[in-house]
Chain A
Amino acid sequence: MKNPVSPHLRRLESEAMFIMREMAAEFQRPAMLYSIGKDSSAMLHLAQKAFFPSKPPFPLLHVDTTWKFREMIAFRDQAAKNAGMELLVHINKDGLKRGISPVASGSSLHTRVMKTEGLRQALDLWHFDAAFGGARRDEEKSRAKERIFSHRSAAHAWDPRNQRPELWQLYNTRIKQGESMRVFPLSNWTELDVWDYILAEDIPVVPLYLAKERPVVERDGALIMVDDERLPLRPGEVPRTERIRFRTLGCYPLTGAIRSQAATLPAMIAEMRASRTSEREGRLIDHDESGSMEKKKREGYF
């Protein structure tokens, strides 16, 4: 069942479709970064709308850290199948060989090797000249200044002080050999816009966003789900069952859950409207220091 979409969301939807078409028309080998979260779900839906009746003219690319929730992987494969789109999965094998994991290496190193380096490897491997992701400007302060078409050097670096001015909807897509572009069709969406849109358009999302009884341990003030046996329990820790949901989805040992009774999308959105914390609070990688996101982006994190 679809609900009417507000003029505000309709404007955002048209803008995202315009951006995707522009990217498909102006690049040789675009790809859509698919990270399985709600933003990716909304993007996949928008991509199908933008190119209908054609299928979106690019593959889905997932940079797998091997530490995603099992439900996410199942959802990913089903979503690609339903869309009839090619799904490319890349894992940084070198990182695995080095034994990098969120448990052993800590969030910062794990993210750099398995996500940032993994993404660079994937883009180089398949020679993608443009990749679009679901980042939003409201997520984090340095994101607020990111362009919609964001230029990356041949080394995948972002130079925040030398960004191209972006006027009207006239996106400068010119790149040199080896350089690439990151494209963010959801730049002007807020977290709430994404959820309102998912509700209005009845878009499937990973069930982890809705409250359910799940095994968790409480660790350093965060609720960590015990998704498989790879999470070493600390002395005295005993997984207990709690009714929880996730506001963002990352690698499971790095993603804090919240206690919630919201088992439906409308209930969950109502809960979020009343929420007093930002979504990145659940992501342990941003807490290292203020400005940490900007540093990661300069290195090529999405």
Chain B
Amino acid sequence: MFDAVQINPHSRLMTQARPTLRLLTCGSVDDGKSTLIGRLLYEQSLILDDQLAALERDSRKHGTDGANIDFALLVDGLEAEREQGITIDVAYRYVSTAKRSFIIADTPGHEQYTRNMATGASGADLAVLLVDARKGLLTQTCRHAAIVSLTGIRQVVLAVNKIDLTGFDEAGFAKIAADFRRFADALDFKTIAPIPISARHGDNISSKSANTPWYRGPALLDYLETIDVVEDGATRPLRFAVQWVNRPHLDFRGFSGTVASGTLRPGDEIAVAGSGRLSRVARIVTKDGDLRGATAGDAVTLTLADELDIARGDILCDPKNRPEVSDQFAAHLIWMSDGKLLPGRSYLMKAGTRTVPVSVTELKYRVDVNTLGELAAKTLSLNEVGFCNLATTTPIAFDPYKENHTTGAFILIDRVTNATAAAGLIAFGLRRATNIHLQGLAVAKQDRARIKHHQPAVLWFTGLSGSGKSTIANLVESGLYAHGVHTIMLDGDNVRHGLNKDLGFSEADRVENIRRIGEVAKLMTQAGLIVLCSFISPFRAERRMVRELLDGHEFIEIFVATPLEDCIARDPKGLYKKAMAGEIKNFTGIDQNYEPPEAPELIVGLDNQTAGQAAAQIVALLATRGLIDHIDDLAADWSI
């Protein structure tokens, strides 16, 4: 029979000073995890009479310990695993002592179920890693230690189990502890506590064992009851993910959610991470009355001082310490489904309360969790860990996982099967577009052109201010539109009011202005449009840059060559007058040079040509080049 232990039915108290400890037990198969948890439950008298009776019955039927009670049977719940003698799924156990409540995730040691180990690790504060004293570190032990470290657990107990079977050998214990410290050097643990135990016989579980006089540390339970879990969530910057917009009636608009980190009080300034909009916390509403403050972990409802456009998925944050907002980032992925990772394929990403489409743009390497080395890889299979670049369809707010587990973690969901395909931990955001590889497009430019019955092109109108570029371009567009040609106009003044409103008129800003317009025009040609761009664009190099962005004959440079004197004479916006008076700097033709095109596709605006004539000439060119069908009656319509 098992050791006699004192059973104290009153061992649970109403209140415990220390916060709940969430821990997981892991280690190789047969190292005794389930037995350890069964022993803890038994010694804390949490096994009740009827359960004990069932346990004795089951021990005779499935037990591996002869006539003795097999504690593992207490926790191996599913019939399949009881028959196979292994734990196939994460089981959660609840132990409560006078000092502390514990939530224990009992995770499988079998290699094929590593994903469940990662699941158990994801919510835990501390890991108890079991090692068989006779076998020492195994591949599985190292793999589990690596996953524990990856999931951000900083505190580890190395429970060297079955110490009785080595005759309570001190040297063997010391060697395992030293081996582990050597391996864990590359990992991110704050504390490692090696404890020699026997889960079956109870040595160093609830109390110090007389069999290991050489061991000076605490018994396992003593250690777990007293360890400080770093609950520093409250000291980190505010993060509050909006879960549910609370709108009981027109006069109340609240945002329900849980404070992920930091604290907040009424009057605190907050920012909406995605939009950057600012407001202040008006009230912290709960059913028990408004609160004077809320802290990490509190589920509350906020109202704000201003009417902001806020929806589920938004993150409210400290304006002085905001999360990153990006559509590209690097992350570790723990692959969890039978279907392999397909880079480029669209998955759903659930991060916080937000779900967005995402794809892996580059698999950098696979992590060999036994050596922590980097392996070349084209895909990830079940239980493999990789480091990847990912891109979402819309920017999301996040923190690196190391800084915030709540805002740095995500899952990937297979869009076809709805399976949870992977767990992700964000390492850092990617700001440079060079880090991303372009998504292959399933529908090509030519396919879109085919349904539009015309070819895409960019008509680039260049010339001095007041030369008539926009007037001509407008006429061309109206005519094309009237005949069912899909067009879009990008005009200098309009673009500068929106996309490029951050740019001035310095040389560098003019270059950036044209570069952005070129990229936009390119995207629109991919959509199959004929894009009319009307910009002074004084420098040859930028016009060439846009030409080179586009395919072969898509770029049609149209030089509106109206002489400077005529432009000054027209001066439709009064700009030349101001420039000549020195009120506008860097004005093309006055104090900044205009470089006329050397080989434009077309020159218009000379010899008193009217705008209508110029437009007709342009449309004729498009037809000649086979971009559009011939339109015979255009000239008549446009004889203004």
**Closest residue on chain A to residue B76 by CB atoms:** A141
Is B9 in contact with chain A by the CB < 8 A criterion?
yes
Given A141-B77, A294-B78, A167 and B247 touching (CB < 8 A)?
A: no
A47 vs chain B, min Cβ distance (A): 10
* Cβ < 8 Å to A, chain B residues 366-425: 405-406, 409-411, 413, 418-420, 423
Whether the pair B58, A166 counts as a contact (CB closer than 8 A) is no
Q: Which residues of A sit under 8 angstroms from B122, Cβ to Cβ? A: 167-168
Q: Which residues of B sit under 8 angstroms from A140, Cβ to Cβ? A: 77
Alpha-carbon gap, A10 to B297, bound state (A)? 9
Alpha-carbon gap, A172 to B411, bound state (A)? 8
**Closest residue on chain B to residue A295 by CB atoms:** B79
Q: Which residues of B sit under 8 angstroms from A49, Cβ to Cβ? A: 286-288, 299
Is B57 in contact with chain A by the CB < 8 A criterion?
yes
* Cβ < 8 Å to B, chain A residues 255-302: 273-278, 281, 290-291, 294
Q: Which residues of A sit under 8 angstroms from B80, Cβ to Cβ? A: 160-161
Alpha-carbon gap, A72 to B302, bound state (A)? 37
Whether the pair B48, A25 counts as a contact (CB closer than 8 A) is no
Given A52-B301, A53-B246, A167 and B10 touching (CB < 8 A)?
A: no
* Cβ < 8 Å to A, chain B residues 62-115: 74-80, 82, 88-94, 96, 101, 103, 115
Alpha-carbon gap, A92 to B531, bound state (A)? 66
Q: Which 5 A-B pairs have the closest CB atoms?
A: A141-B77, A52-B287, A17-B299, A167-B122, A174-B418
Alpha-carbon gap, A143 to B92, bound state (A)? 9
Is A137 in contact with chain B by the CB < 8 A criterion?
yes
A96 vs chain B, min Cβ distance (A): 33
**Closest residue on chain B to residue A175 by CB atoms:** B418
Whether the pair A276, B49 counts as a contact (CB closer than 8 A) is yes
Whether the pair B79, A168 counts as a contact (CB closer than 8 A) is no
Q: Which residues of A sit under 8 angstroms from B247, Cβ to Cβ? A: 54
Whether the pair A190, B96 counts as a contact (CB closer than 8 A) is yes
Is A164 in contact with chain B by the CB < 8 A criterion?
yes
A169 vs chain B, min Cβ distance (A): 8
Q: Which residues of B sit under 8 angstroms from A276, Cβ to Cβ? A: 9, 48-49
Residue in A2, A22, A144 whose CB lies within 8 Å of B75 = A144
Binary flags per residue of A134-147, CB closer than 8 Å to B gives 1, else 0: 00011011111100
Total A-B contacts with CB atoms under 8 angstroms apart: 173
Alpha-carbon gap, A289 to B82, bound state (A)? 14
Instruction: Report which A residues bind B (CB closer than 8 A).
Output: 2, 6-8, 10-11, 13-14, 17-18, 21-22, 24-25, 48-55, 137-138, 140-145, 160-161, 163-172, 174-176, 187-188, 190, 192, 196, 273-278, 281, 290-291, 294
Whether the pair A8, B20 counts as a contact (CB closer than 8 A) is yes
Whether the pair A167, B411 counts as a contact (CB closer than 8 A) is yes
Alpha-carbon gap, A266 to B411, bound state (A)? 43
Alpha-carbon gap, A52 to B289, bound state (A)? 10
Whether the pair B10, A166 counts as a contact (CB closer than 8 A) is no
Whether the pair A8, B286 counts as a contact (CB closer than 8 A) is no
Q: Which of A21, A49, A170 counts the most chain B CB atoms within 10 A? A: A170
Given A172-B418, A192-B12, A291 and B89 touching (CB < 8 A)?
A: no
**Closest residue on chain A to residue B106 by CB atoms:** A144
Can you list 10 A-B contacts (CB < 8 A)? A49-B286, A51-B246, A54-B248, A141-B76, A145-B89, A167-B122, A168-B405, A172-B420, A190-B94, A277-B48
B104 vs chain A, min Cβ distance (A): 10
Is B14 in contact with chain A by the CB < 8 A criterion?
yes
Residue in A145, A168, A294 whose CB lies within 8 Å of B91 = A145
* Cβ < 8 Å to A, chain B residues 199-244: 243-244
**Closest residue on chain B to residue A24 by CB atoms:** B244
Instruction: Report which B residues bind A (CB closer than 8 A).
Output: 9-10, 12, 14-16, 19-20, 48-51, 54, 57-58, 74-80, 82, 88-94, 96, 101, 103, 115-116, 118-119, 122-123, 243-244, 246-248, 252, 254, 256-258, 285-288, 297-299, 301, 312, 336, 348, 350-353, 405-406, 409-411, 413, 418-420, 423
Given A14-B297, A172-B411, A290 and B54 touching (CB < 8 A)?
A: yes
B72 vs chain A, min Cβ distance (A): 12
Q: Which residues of A sit under 8 angstroms from B405, Cβ to Cβ? A: 168
| Extra 8 A-B pairs, beta carbons < 8 Å, given A21-B256, A52-B286, A52-B301 | A17-B258, A51-B256, A53-B246, A141-B76, A143-B77, A167-B118, A188-B92, A291-B79
**Closest residue on chain B to residue A293 by CB atoms:** B77
**Closest residue on chain B to residue A143 by CB atoms:** B77
Alpha-carbon gap, A163 to B108, bound state (A)? 14
A185 vs chain B, min Cβ distance (A): 11
Whether the pair B77, A145 counts as a contact (CB closer than 8 A) is yes
Given A48-B287, A274-B10, A276-B9, A11 and B88 touching (CB < 8 A)?
A: no
Residue in B10, B15, B248 whose CB lies within 8 Å of A273 = B10
Q: Which residues of A sit under 8 angstroms from B12, Cβ to Cβ? A: 192, 273
Whether the pair B411, A170 counts as a contact (CB closer than 8 A) is yes
Alpha-carbon gap, A51 to B244, bound state (A)? 9
Whether the pair B50, A160 counts as a contact (CB closer than 8 A) is no
Alpha-carbon gap, A187 to B410, bound state (A)? 22
Whether the pair B119, A161 counts as a contact (CB closer than 8 A) is no
Alpha-carbon gap, A145 to B80, bound state (A)? 13
Whether the pair A53, B94 counts as a contact (CB closer than 8 A) is no
Alpha-carbon gap, A13 to B286, bound state (A)? 13
Alpha-carbon gap, A235 to B337, bound state (A)? 60
Alpha-carbon gap, A290 to B74, bound state (A)? 12
